[in-house]
């Protein structure tokens, strides 16, 4: 089964209308995962960042965020990752990948053979490609 490592901005684009073009790109992945046609791999850091952004940037009520997170982690096809390989993360950050959170996502992508990373961050995409990691192209 194909595994997609999902970045925070992809989840935010899915649950908000901030960028309809991005939402159209990521929605089929969520639909496919819910039918167990692929897996969405999500590191706990991504959920932490998602909660922070939805609360502090979008002003979403905490109860609503709680329900979103509960629904996401219960969704068929979602695999949560709690472990962090800090040696791998620190081998990437900050020289190869400037953002620490992005380095965590990249380390998950490196750990899963054949994984594709889903992000809308152009700088992160470039860094991933320079590391030989696959980036989702719709």
Q: Indicate which CATH number applies to the domain containing 8.
A: 3.40.50.1010
Residue 105, pLDDT > 90, answer yes
Quick: pLDDT tens for 88-104: 999 999 999 999 999 99
- Residue 55 and residue 108: Cα distance in Å, rounded? 25
- Residue 126 and residue 66: Cα distance in Å, rounded? 33
- Residue 76 and residue 74: Cα distance in Å, rounded? 6
Q: At what angle do helices 20-34 and 8-15 cross, to 10 degrees?
A: 100
Quick: pLDDT tens for 39-88: 999 999 999 999 999 999 999 999 999 999 999 999 999 999 999 999 99
What is the bridge-based pairing of β-strands 39-43 and 3-6? parallel
The percentage of residues in the chain with a pLDDT greater than 70, rounded to a whole number, is 100
Look at the chain and report how many structural domains it folds into.
1
- Residue 28 and residue 66: Cα distance in Å, rounded? 23
What three-state secondary structure class fits 112? Answer: coil
Residue 8, pLDDT > 80, answer yes
What's residue 138's pLDDT? 73
Sorted by sequence, the CB contacts under 8 Å of residue 65 that are 6+ apart come out as 51, 54, 55
Q: Taking all residues of the chain, what is their mean pLDDT, rounded to a whole number?
A: 97
Residue 71's domain comprises 3-135
What's residue 113's pLDDT? 96
- Cβ(104)–Cβ(111) under 8 Å? no
What's residue 55's pLDDT? 98
What's residue 42's pLDDT? 98
């Amino acid at each position: 089964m194909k595994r997609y490592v999902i970045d925070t901005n992809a989840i935010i684009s899915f649950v908000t209308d901030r960028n309809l073009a991005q939402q159209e790109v990521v929605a089929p992945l969520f639909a496919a995962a819910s039918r167990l046609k692929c897996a969405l791999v999500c590191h706990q850091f991504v959920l932490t960042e998602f909660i922070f952004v939805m609360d502090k940037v979008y002003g979403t009520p905490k109860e609503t965020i709680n329900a979103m997170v509960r629904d996401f982690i219960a969704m068929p096809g979602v695999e949560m990752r709690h472990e962090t390989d800090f040696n791998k993360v620190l081998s990437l950050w900050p020289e190869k990948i400037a953002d620490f959170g992005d380095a965590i996502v990249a380390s998950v992508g490196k750990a899963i053979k054949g994984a594709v990373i889903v992000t809308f961050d152009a700088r992160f995409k470039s860094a991933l490609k320079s590391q030989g990691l696959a980036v989702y192209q719709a």
